[in-house]
Amino acid sequence: MSARVRVALLGCGVVGGEVVRLLHEQAEDLHARIGAPLELAGIAVRRPGRTRGSIDPTLFTTDALGLVKHDDIDIVVEVVGGIEPARTWLVEALHAGKSVVTANKALLAEDGAALHDAAAEGNADLYYEASVAGAIPLLRPLRESLHGDRITRVTGIVNGTTNFILSSMDSSGASFHDALEEATALGYAEADPSADVEGFDAAAKAAILASLAFHTRVRASNVYREGITEVTAGDVASAKAMGCTIKLLCIASCVDGAVSVRVHPAMIPRSHPLASVGDAFNAVFVEAQAAGQLMFYGRGAGGSPTASAVVGDIVAVARNRLAGVRAATESNYADLRIQPMGEVVTRYHVSLDVADRAGVLASVAGVFAKHDVSIQTVRQEGRGDDATLVVVTHTATDAALAATVNDLRALDIVREVASVMRVEGE
């Protein structure tokens, strides 16, 4: 191996452009930290003719697969995203013994096993710090710092777009629709926001976090997922009345040898450290048996923060190559069962539009009791035919709550089950 470390970059959009800039601007420092110079040897793009700032145009190629397999390349950095062709490129690279750094959460959550297996076969590194929570150093601490401990639960705000929308609904009382429009206008939401607002992005990250936290393999399809499109201004006001705020949470927990992983909006108390995470920031709250409560906070997206994480990984794999070692970045010995959502235990906030007649509370309470769902508080708002009953439960299984809601819908005096939201963080 030459004294240089040669890097191939796949993709040169917002993140890729920032990676090129950092490699260039910090070249001297990176050389000192690695012990050898990094050399950007090629950049695969779809449209090589496009002008991309001051980047040397001879670096561009459309032949990603050729670049990846080239003898001269030591490290392949992928910032294209999506399942294919990224998977083919990275599996080829790893089989050929090249180290891989990727920010591709969708691919890792969908078929991380293919990448980890290829890395093991090729005796190559696979690093992916940038795939979850952007610049926040999170995967390395989970993977390494806490491996003397037992993580019991990971609760995260891992999608900046939805956090911006919910924070805006919380501070202004806006509707989901208006807050989404504001986020789009400010560039926080994409033209098609469904990956964010339907929770797909958060679910992919949840799968990666759960896999690392619990030493098992969790795929995106194992993650229970609800987005924030049904969250109303009324829900936000109701949360406020309880001293709570609504966040889109990813929650991964391990109980009795089973892992549950879910993404859904939830009410959390304003005193919880995650409650004050505003704007498009991300934060991940980790509970471990010995370490207690930890939180990691920072920018979860954006070209520059994501590039910071990518270049940090490049330095790590470059050092590994020079030392002639490989770091296993997956640990799946635990091989745990995925707990179905119906078994998951949490608390619920249920809002019912009811007719304010004699016996309404007794009827409603009877339905909860029938399914063994214990009520913590009931509050009635309004009188006559426009009354609202707000019920907050003690912990119950999701299945018991779902059955309760079904039976409530069948009651004559319940005009509508206006909202059902989980209550977390207490």
Interactions with its own copies, residue window 16-45 (CB under 8 A): 18, 22, 26, 29-30, 32-33
Residue window 144-163: x/- pattern of binding to its own copies, with contact defined by CB under 8 A = xxxxxxx-------------
Three-class SS state of 335: coil
**Tokens representing residue 19 in the block:** 């990676």
Part of the chain binding its own copies (CB under 8 A), chosen from 48-56, 66-74, 239-247, 301-309: 301-309
CA-atom Rg of the chain in angstroms: 24
User: Which of these, 13, 75, 65, lies nearest to 38 by C-alpha position?
Assistant: 75
**Measured CA distances, 101 to 126, 143, 235, 314, 413 (Å):** 6, 16, 41, 7, 58
Tell me how far, at minimum, the Cβ of 122 lies from its own copies, in Å: 17
Judged by CB under 8 A, which stretch of 52-60, 131-139, 337-345, 364-372 contacts its own copies? 131-139
Contact between 321 and its own copies by CB under 8 A: the answer reads: no
In the shown chain, the binding pattern of residues 208 to 237 toward its own copies, with x for contact by CB under 8 A and - for none, equals -------x----------------------
The reply to whether 334 sits near its own copies by the rule CB under 8 A is: yes
Stretch that binds its own copies, among 76-84, 313-321, 336-344, 366-374 (CB under 8 A): 313-321
Count of residues making up the chain:
426
Least separation, in Å, of the C-beta of 236 and its own copies? 21
Among 55, 311, 408, 421, the residue binding its own copies under the rule CB under 8 A is 311
14 binds its own copies (CB under 8 A): no
Q: Is residue 381 near its own copies by the rule CB under 8 A?
A: no
Residue 205 designated active-site:
yes
Between CA 266 and CA 155 the distance in angstroms is 11
**Strand ranges (DSSP E) for 279-331?**
281-288, 292-299
Under rule CB under 8 A, residue 1 binds its own copies: no
Nearer to its own copies, 92 or 313 (CB): 313
Out of 98, 105, 205, 247, pick the active-site residue.
205
Q: Number of residues interacting with its own copies: please give it, by CB under 8 A.
A: 53
DSSP string, 198-211: TSHHHHHHHHHHHH
According to CB under 8 A, which one of 69, 233, 297, 380 is a site residue for its own copies? 297
Contact map string, positions 271 to 290, toward its own copies, x by CB under 8 A = --x--x-----------x-x
74 binds its own copies, rule: CB under 8 A: no
CA dist., res. 112 & res. 348, Å (int): 34
Is 26 or 419 the residue whose CB approaches its own copies more closely?
Answer: 26
Residue from the set 110, 125, 129, 424 that interacts with its own copies by CB under 8 A = 129
User: Hey, CA dihedral for 340, 163, 166, 393, is it positive or negative?
Assistant: positive
Alpha helix segments (H runs only) across 173-263: 176-185, 194-197, 200-214, 233-241
Residues facing 245 on adjacent strands = 268
Q: How far is the CB of 3 from its own copies (least distance, A)?
A: 17
CA distance 301 to 227: 19
Nearest to 2 by CA among 28, 42, 37, 41: 37
Binding its own copies by CB under 8 A: which of 76, 218, 314, 391? 314
Using the structure block, give the residue that is written with the tokens 């089950």.
417
Q: Which is nearer to its own copies, 249 or 307 (CB)?
A: 307
From candidates 229, 304, 363, 380, binder to its own copies by CB under 8 A: 304
* Cβ partners under 8 Å of residue 371, min gap 6: 396, 400, 401, 403, 404, 407
Query: Any idea what the Cα angle at residue 261 is, between residues 298 and 284, rounded to 5°?
Result: 15
Upper half-sphere CA count for residue 424 (Cβ side, 13 Å): 27
Q: Taking the complex as a whole, how short is the minimal distance between the CB of residue 312 and its own copies, in angstroms?
A: 4
- Determine, following the binding rule CB under 8 A, whether residue 76 of this chain makes contact with its own copies: no
- H or E element at residue 114: helix 105-122
Q: Which of 42, 112, 227, 305 binds its own copies (CB under 8 A)?
A: 305
Does the protein bind its own copies through residue 187 (CB under 8 A)? no
Taking CB under 8 A as the criterion, the residue among 104, 308, 329, 346 binding its own copies is 308
- Ramachandran region of residue 74, left (φ > 0), alpha (ψ -120 to 50) or beta? alpha
User: Which one of residues 53, 187, 292, 384 is an interface residue with its own copies (CB under 8 A)?
Assistant: 292
**Sign of CA pseudo-dihedral 20, 163, 141, 270:** positive
97 binding its own copies? (CB under 8 A): no
Catalytic residues: 205
| Binding interface with its own copies (CB under 8 A) | 18, 22, 26, 29-30, 32-33, 129, 134-137, 140-141, 144-150, 215, 273, 276, 288, 290-299, 302, 304-305, 307-316, 323, 325, 331, 333-334
